[in-house]
A and B are shown apart, each in its own frame.
Chain A
Amino acid sequence: MDFDFSDDQNSLRDAVARWVEKGFSFERRHAIAKAGGAARAVYNELAELGLTGLAVPTAHGGMGFGAVEAMVVCEELGRGLVNAPYAQAALMAPLLLAAAPATVQAEWLPKIAAGSALIVLAHQERAARYRLDQVQTRAVQAGGSWSLSGAKSVVPAGDEADAWVVPARTAGAAGDATGVGLFLVVKGAAGATVRGFPTQDGARAAQLTLASSPATLLAVQGLPLLEHAVDAGIAALCAEGVGVMDKLLAITVEYMNTRKQFGVPIASFQALRHRIADVKMQLELARSMSYFASLKLGEPAAQRRRALAQAKLQLGQSMRFVGQQCIQMHGGIGVTDEYVASHYFKRLTVMEMTFGDTLHQLGEVSSRMLDTAGVFA
C-alpha cells in the first residue's frame, strides 16, 4: 500500500510540467484551436522530450514504462490543456500492436517511439455508440492479403496520422464477441479517404472511409486487445481529467479571491464556499479513482474491466460537476472564448464522451457487480 511517486516519476512529471510552462501557453493552444486543431507540431515536441516512447518496449527503442508513468505524464498534459493525441498515439498504439507479427512490430514500434509515426485507433462507428463489439466494417482476405471496407468516425488526429489501427469483422455480425480483427491501414492506402474536422475541445479528428483498402493483419481475435487498449486509454483519460480539474480549480480559486462584488471578494460568500468544497470533493474522489485505474490496468481482463468502468464512472461524474460549477462560479467571463476556463470545461466535456460516457459506464459497473464490494472485492 503505497501511493508515493518515485524520484524518477517525479522527475518525469517535472520535465513535462517544465515543457508546458515554457512551450505551451494558453495563447499557443488557443491559436492552434482557432487554426483547426492540428496537433502534429505539438506531438513532435512531445516526441523530442522522449514521451512518445514511454510505452514502447525498450527492445524497440522505447522506455518500456508502465501505467504509473503514463498517468504522471497525462496528468501534466491535462494541467496544461495540451491538445495532442498523446494517449491514443503513444499509449494505446503500442498495446494495439502487441500481438502483431514481429516484422510489423519491428517496422512501426521504433517509429512510434521516435514520434516519426503517428498511429491512432480508428474504431468509432456510427451505430456502435460505446460498444467495442459493434463492428460493421468488413475485412476480406484474398490471395493472402486483406482489404477493409467501412467507415470510422471521430478518429483523433485522423487526418494527421501516418496509419490507423482499424477493428474490422472477419466473421460474424455486429455485436459478436468473436470475428473482430485488428488491422493496420497506412495513409495513402488505395480506397482510404480521410476528411478532417476541428473538435469541440480545440483538437482535431477525422472521418475515415475505407473501400477495399489494403490492410495488414495485427490480430485475428482483436477484441480482447482492443478492450485492453481502450482501458489503457480510459486510465490515461482519468489522469488527464485530474490534471484538467486540478488546474481549473486553481484558476477558479484565484478568481474567487480576486473578483469583488458587493464590495468584497466573492470567495467570502458561503453559497460559493460550499460549492468549492464540493468541487474539491469531486476532484479528490477523481484523483483516487485515477490511481485506482492505473494500478488496476495490469489485472486479468474481468477485474481490469470492472475497475476501469468504475473509474471512468467516477471521472465522468466529477468532470461534469467540476466543469459546470467552475464555469458557474466565474459568472459571465466563464462563458467567453477569450478566457481560459471555458477551454478547460470543453475538454472535460469531450473526455466524458470518450471511451464510454457516464451512463455507459454505469451499465458496465452494474452488470459486472459482485456480491462483495470495495477496492479489493
Chain B
Amino acid sequence: MDLTFTREEQAFREKIRAWVGQNLPTDISHKVHNALDLTAQDMQRWARILGKEGWHGYAWPKQFGGPGWGAVQRHLFEEECALAGAPRIVPFGPVMVAPVIMAFGTPEQQRRHLPGIMSGDVWWSQGYSEPGSGSDLASLKCKAERRGDYYLVNGQKTWTTLAQYGEWIFCLVRTSNEGKPQTGISFLLIDMKSPGVKVRPIVMLDGGVEVNEVWFDNVEVPADNLVGEENKGWTYAKYLLAHERTGIGDVNRAKRELERLKRIAKLEGVYDEPRFRDQIALLEVDVVALEMLILRVISAEKSGKQSLDVAGLLKIRGSEIQQRYTELMMLAGGPFCVPFIREAMAAGWQGDFFGAAHCAPLAGTYFNYRKTTIYGGSNEVQRNIVAQTVLGS
C-alpha cells in the first residue's frame, strides 16, 4: 500500500504539465479559471490542439491512434489539464461514441469517424433523452424504420448538449416494439446536415444556451450508419456508460474550484469568518475523500487484483460536490451575485459589474450546476443502482 506515484508516473506528470503549460492558450485558461463563457471556438481550438498531439482521445488504445495510457496516466493527464485551467473535453465524440465505434462498429465506420473525432474537427452530440423518456430512457419512441438501404427516422430528442454546433449525432432509436422496451432499441449515427434534422436551442435558467431540442422529420439515414446489430443498441449504450469511469467524479476540477472558492472567500472577507470557513473545511474533506475513492478505483484498475464497482457513488458524490462549491462561491459573493448582467459572463466585458468582476458569474454557475444531479442518470436513479448492488435484490 502506497500513496505516492512512481518515478515514472512523476516524470509523466512533469511531461504533461510542461506540455499543457506551453500549449494551452492563456485566453482560454483565463476564462476557465474565472468561470467565464467559453465559446464553441474556444472549445474546438483546445480540442484541435489536443488532437494534433493525439491526445483528444487520451483514453484510446494505440490500435485506434490513441496514446494507450493506463489508468494512472489518464488520471494524471486529467489532473494536469484541470489544474492548468483547460476546458473539459467535450465528451460526446472522444469519450462516448468513439469507444462504442471501436468495440462494435465496422472497420469502415472506424475509418470514417475515428480520425475526425481524434483531431477535434468533427463535433458530435448525443441523442438519448426524449420529452417522454428521461430516467426511463428505455421507453424512448424516436422511430427508425428500415427502408431498403436506409432507415427513415422520425421523432424528437431533447436536452441535447451543444447540438447547435453538432455535425454528427449518435442516437438511440426504436427499431422494434416487440418484447421488452430495451430489446427494440438500435444505435444509429446520424449526419446532422441530413434533410429533416431541426435543432432548437433551449434557453436555460442562467440565461445561457447549452442544450437543445432536436427533431427528425423523415430523415433518411444510410443503413451503413447502424452500429452493431439492430435492436442491440441498449447493450451498446450500457457499454458506453460503463466506459465512463472515474472521470464522472471529476475530482480534479473540484480541486481547482475549491482553490477558487478560497480566493473568492478571501476577496469577499468571509474566509476568516469561522462559520463560513468551516463550510469550506467540510467541503475540503469531501473533496479529499472523493479523491481517495477515485485513487482506489485507479489502483484497482491498475493492479487488476480487485474490482471496485463504485461508478454510481462517484457520480452522486462528484455532482454533490460540484453543486456545493458553486453554492458556497455564490454565498461568498452574497448580494453582489444578485446583479444579472448576462454579458458580464463573457470575457472582456467593459461595462459595469455593479459589484465585482469575480462575482458576476457566481449565481449563473450555481443555477447552471443544478443540472449535475439530474443529467447522466439522476442521482436518484444512481441510488437505485447502488442499492441494487448493495442489497443484491
Instruction: Identify the A interface with B (CB < 8 A).
Output: 1-6, 9, 68, 249, 253, 256-257, 265, 267-268, 270, 273-274, 276-281, 284-285, 288-289, 291-292, 294-296, 310, 313-314, 362-363, 365-366, 369, 371-375
Chain B nearest CB, measured from A339 CB (Å) = 20
User: Does B380 make an interface contact (CB < 8 A)?
Assistant: yes
Given contacts A291-B1, A291-B296, A366-B274, contact A4 B303 (CB under 8 A): yes
**Nearest-neighbor residue (CB-CB) of B297 within chain A:** A3
Looking at B147-155, B174-182, B337-345, B383-391, the stretch in contact with chain A turns out to be B383-391
Contacting pair A366 B291 (CB below 8 A): no
Contacting pair B280 A369 (CB below 8 A): yes
Contacting pair A314 B285 (CB below 8 A): yes
Chain A nearest CB, measured from B250 CB (Å) = 13
Residues of B within 8 A of A365 (CB): 281-282, 284-285
In the bound assembly, the distance between CA atoms of A374 and B294 in angstroms comes to: 12
Residues of A within 8 A of B286 (CB): 285
Contacting pair A256 B293 (CB below 8 A): no
Looking at B3-11, B17-25, B130-138, the stretch in contact with chain A turns out to be B3-11
Chain A nearest CB, measured from B258 CB (Å) = 4
Contacting pair B383 A277 (CB below 8 A): yes
For chain B residues 249-289, which have a beta carbon within 8 Å of chain A?
Answer: 251, 255, 258-259, 262-263, 274, 277-278, 280-282, 284-289
In the bound assembly, the distance between CA atoms of A282 and B255 in angstroms comes to: 20
Contacting pair A273 B387 (CB below 8 A): yes
Q: How many residues on the B side are at the interface (Cβ–Cβ under 8 A)?
A: 54
User: Does B313 make an interface contact (CB < 8 A)?
Assistant: yes
Residues of A within 8 A of B259 (CB): 371-373
Contacting pair A375 B288 (CB below 8 A): yes
Contacting pair A3 B299 (CB below 8 A): yes
Contacting pair B255 A288 (CB below 8 A): no
- Inter-chain pairs besides A267-B391, A277-B390, 13 sampled, C-beta below 8 Å: A1-B4, A1-B302, A4-B299, A257-B392, A273-B383, A273-B387, A279-B390, A280-B313, A294-B1, A369-B277, A371-B259, A375-B291, A375-B292
Residues of B within 8 A of A362 (CB): 278, 281-282
Residue in A2, A374, A375 whose beta carbon sits within 8 Å of that of B1 in the complex? A2
Residue in A1, A6, A294 whose beta carbon sits within 8 Å of that of B72 in the complex? A1
Chain B nearest CB, measured from A303 CB (Å) = 11
Chain B nearest CB, measured from A114 CB (Å) = 28
User: Does B316 make an interface contact (CB < 8 A)?
Assistant: yes
Residue in B263, B284, B289, B300 whose beta carbon sits within 8 Å of that of A289 in the complex? B289
User: Does B295 make an interface contact (CB < 8 A)?
Assistant: yes
In the bound assembly, the distance between CA atoms of A274 and B388 in angstroms comes to: 10
Residues of A within 8 A of B291 (CB): 374-375
User: Does B305 make an interface contact (CB < 8 A)?
Assistant: yes
Given contacts A289-B288, A296-B3, A375-B288, contact A273 B281 (CB under 8 A): no
Residues of B within 8 A of A278 (CB): 383
Chain B nearest CB, measured from A139 CB (Å) = 35
Contacting pair A280 B255 (CB below 8 A): no
Residues of A within 8 A of B9 (CB): 1
Contacting pair A273 B1 (CB below 8 A): no
In the bound assembly, the distance between CA atoms of A347 and B382 in angstroms comes to: 31
In the bound assembly, the distance between CA atoms of A273 and B381 in angstroms comes to: 11
Residues of B within 8 A of A375 (CB): 3, 288, 291-292, 295
Residues of A within 8 A of B393 (CB): 257, 265, 267-268
Contacting pair B298 A1 (CB below 8 A): yes
Given contacts A278-B383, A285-B289, A375-B288, contact A1 B313 (CB under 8 A): no
In the bound assembly, the distance between CA atoms of A373 and B83 in angstroms comes to: 11
**Nearest-neighbor residue (CB-CB) of B261 within chain A:** A373
User: Does B310 make an interface contact (CB < 8 A)?
Assistant: yes
Chain B nearest CB, measured from A317 CB (Å) = 8
In the bound assembly, the distance between CA atoms of A2 and B303 in angstroms comes to: 8
Contacting pair A288 B3 (CB below 8 A): no
User: Does B352 make an interface contact (CB < 8 A)?
Assistant: no
In the bound assembly, the distance between CA atoms of A285 and B278 in angstroms comes to: 19
Chain B nearest CB, measured from A363 CB (Å) = 8
Residues of B within 8 A of A1 (CB): 2-6, 9, 72, 295, 298-299, 302
Residues of A within 8 A of B3 (CB): 1, 291-292, 295-296, 375
User: Does B31 make an interface contact (CB < 8 A)?
Assistant: no
